[in-house]
């Protein structure tokens, strides 16, 4: 970075739209063991001091880790402690780096989705695992392209443990529910958020009709039935909801084929979602951070089909016919240039992830979030 592009102070005029005239002055230098000589600046508008470091993904960090390798490991079914061992750092460092890169990933995703119109049908489904303890099943609702399998949105919630339990397990559930009881409408709320994304992406789309495929879960019909924008779009024949029984054979002809493929891919790639795993997530916010780091690689760097010829480099976003320029612009400097919340088009689940606001079973208060990430 040669000159500062904007002021890092979110309350300053020069944060969103810096004036044409020079709004900063150089203000000496300092040295750090990790980075050598660093240029300091002062904003002439708000008077806040900052440096080239303020715009670095590793702002405030004492260690560097190769983000390319880290992203690769997160999607290779690797546990946090294994990544730490492999990269020769402590596991807290891994958590910190995933925390940072997850924000790069949701900022990128939000920039790509901002004003995007879909050019294919959509499908949505929930992936169920558990986090914190076996008494807290979770559900990650994913919205994807029926043809491209590009992931447009994802949101997570904790559920109430159901199904067959021994008398001892039932007793334990009663005991635990004195501290935390999952919202019985969590899935409906989650699907409402997904529906917001669908409506935004369909409203400006050139295609006349967009089909949304799901299974027959009642939470989906409930959410759609109470969604005003969806009501409007379905009454002008812009959208239609098609339900498929989830017991039907999981073949390519199944309308939910794309979701079945994604579900399998997540269970192959992310350690905490392998069936009957000993590596479950302890913290929902951190779990979704890993999900978004995985999703970044899946959407923008993983080849659309593993069987495609070596010369064919089609990625999922290209299969979804998202303009290359849109992705290129959103992805510029993703490995090094720090994303600011206040300069990103975040809403819904990405914003919840950014602020670590996913509900934490059995814990009180907000999750720990370093101050520099609030900006
Ligand atoms: Zn300023």
Q: How far is CA 156 from CA 89, 150, 180, in A?
A: 29, 18, 17
- Structural domains present in the chain: 13-55 (no CATH), 67-374 (3.30.420.10)
Share of the chain above pLDDT 90, in %: 86
CA of 235 to the centre of ligand 1 (A): 48
pLDDT score recorded for residue 372: 85
CA of 136 to the centre of ligand 1 (A): 45
Residue 244 scores a pLDDT above 90: yes
Structural element, H or E, at residue 127: strand 122-130
Residue with the larger pLDDT of the pair 305 and 290: 290
CA of 123 to the centre of ligand 1 (A): 44
Place of tokens 């635990």: 176
* Mean pLDDT computed over 254-260: 94
**Quick one: pLDDT band at residue 305, thresholds 50, 70, 90?**
confident
Residue 276 scores a pLDDT above 80: no
CA of 10 to the centre of ligand 1 (A): 8
**Quick one: pLDDT band at residue 303, thresholds 50, 70, 90?**
confident
* Mean pLDDT computed over 164-186: 94
**Quick one: pLDDT band at residue 279, thresholds 50, 70, 90?**
confident
CA of 44 to the centre of ligand 1 (A): 7
CA of 2 to the centre of ligand 1 (A): 18
Helix (H, G, I), strand (E, B) or coil at 121: coil
CA of 106 to the centre of ligand 1 (A): 25
pLDDT score recorded for residue 1: 57
CA of 228 to the centre of ligand 1 (A): 40
In angstroms, rounded to a whole number, what is the distance separating the alpha carbons of residues 93 and 166? 40
CA of 48 to the centre of ligand 1 (A): 6
CA of 55 to the centre of ligand 1 (A): 14
* Mean pLDDT computed over 275-285: 88
* Mean pLDDT computed over 146-163: 95
- Is 241 in contact with 221 (CB distance < 8 Å)? yes
- At 323-350, the pLDDT tens digits run 999 999 999 999 999 999 999 999 999 9
Residue 273 scores a pLDDT above 90: yes
Residue 270 scores a pLDDT above 70: yes
pLDDT score recorded for residue 313: 87
In angstroms, rounded to a whole number, what is the distance separating the alpha carbons of residues 79 and 277? 11
Angle at CA of residue 39, ends 33 and 40, nearest 5°: 110
CA of 139 to the centre of ligand 1 (A): 42
Kindly state the DSSP code that residue 338 receives in the 8-state scheme: P
Return mean pLDDT, the chain. Answer: 94
pLDDT score recorded for residue 152: 98
**Quick one: pLDDT band at residue 364, thresholds 50, 70, 90?**
confident
CA of 170 to the centre of ligand 1 (A): 57
pLDDT score recorded for residue 269: 94
CA of 357 to the centre of ligand 1 (A): 28
- Is 279 in contact with 271 (CB distance < 8 Å)? yes
* Mean pLDDT computed over 310-320: 91
List 239's β-bridge partners, or say none. 210
CA of 13 to the centre of ligand 1 (A): 6
Cα distance between the two ends of the chain? 20
> Would strands 210-214 and 239-243 be described as parallel, antiparallel, or unpaired?
parallel
In angstroms, rounded to a whole number, what is the distance separating the alpha carbons of residues 117 and 112? 10
Kindly state the DSSP code that residue 238 receives in the 8-state scheme: S
pLDDT score recorded for residue 203: 94
CA of 42 to the centre of ligand 1 (A): 8
pTM higher than 0.85 for the full model?
A: yes
pLDDT score recorded for residue 80: 93
DSSP string, 162-210: -S---HHHHHHHHHHTTT----TTHHHHHHHHHHHHHHHHHHT-SSS-E
CA of 338 to the centre of ligand 1 (A): 17
């Amino acid at each position: 970075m040669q000159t500062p592009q904007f002021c890092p102070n979110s309350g300053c005029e020069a944060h969103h739209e810096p004036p044409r005239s020079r709004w900063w002055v150089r203000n000496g230098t300092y040295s750090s063991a990790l980075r050598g000589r660093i240029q300091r600046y002062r904003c002439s508008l708000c008077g806040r001091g900052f440096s080239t470091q303020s715009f670095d993904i590793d702002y405030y960090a004492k260690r560097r880790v190769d983000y390319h390798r880290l992203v690769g490991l997160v999607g290779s079914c690797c546990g946090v402690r294994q990544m730490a061992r492999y990269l020769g750092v402590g596991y807290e460092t891994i958590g910190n780096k995933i925390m940072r890169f997850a924000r790069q990933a949701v900022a990128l995703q939000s920039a790509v989705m901002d004003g995007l119109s879909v050019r294919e049908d959509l499908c949505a489904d929930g992936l169920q695992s558990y986090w914190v303890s076996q008494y807290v099943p979770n559900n990650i609702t994913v919205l994807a392209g029926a043809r491209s399998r590009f992931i447009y949105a994802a949101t997570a919630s904790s559920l109430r443990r159901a199904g067959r339990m021994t008398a001892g397990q039932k007793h334990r559930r009663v005991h635990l529910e004195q501290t935390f009881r999952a919202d019985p409408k969590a899935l409906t709320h989650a699907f409402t958020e997904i529906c917001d994304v669908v409506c935004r992406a369909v409203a400006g789309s050139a295609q006349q009709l967009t089909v949304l495929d799901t299974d027959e879960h009642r939470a989906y019909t409930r959410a759609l039935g109470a969604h005003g924008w969806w009501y409007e779009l379905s009454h002008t024949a812009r959208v239609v909801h098609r339900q498929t029984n989830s017991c039907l054979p999981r073949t390519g002809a199944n309308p939910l084929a794309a979701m079945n493929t994604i579900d399998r891919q997540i269970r192959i790639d992310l350690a905490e979602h392998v069936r009957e795993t000993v590596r479950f997530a302890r913290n929902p916010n951190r779990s979704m951070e890993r999900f978004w780091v995985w999703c970044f690689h899946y959407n923008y760097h993983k080849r659309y089909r593993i069987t495609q010829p070596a010369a064919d480099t089609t990625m999922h976003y290209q299969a979804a016919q998202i303009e290359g320029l849109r992705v290129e612009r959103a992805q510029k400097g993703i490995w090094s240039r720090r994303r600011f919340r206040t300069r990103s088009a975040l809403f819904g689940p990405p914003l919840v992830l950014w602020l670590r606001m996913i509900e934490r079973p059995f814990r009180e208060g907000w999750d720990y979030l370093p101050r520099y990430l609030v900006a």
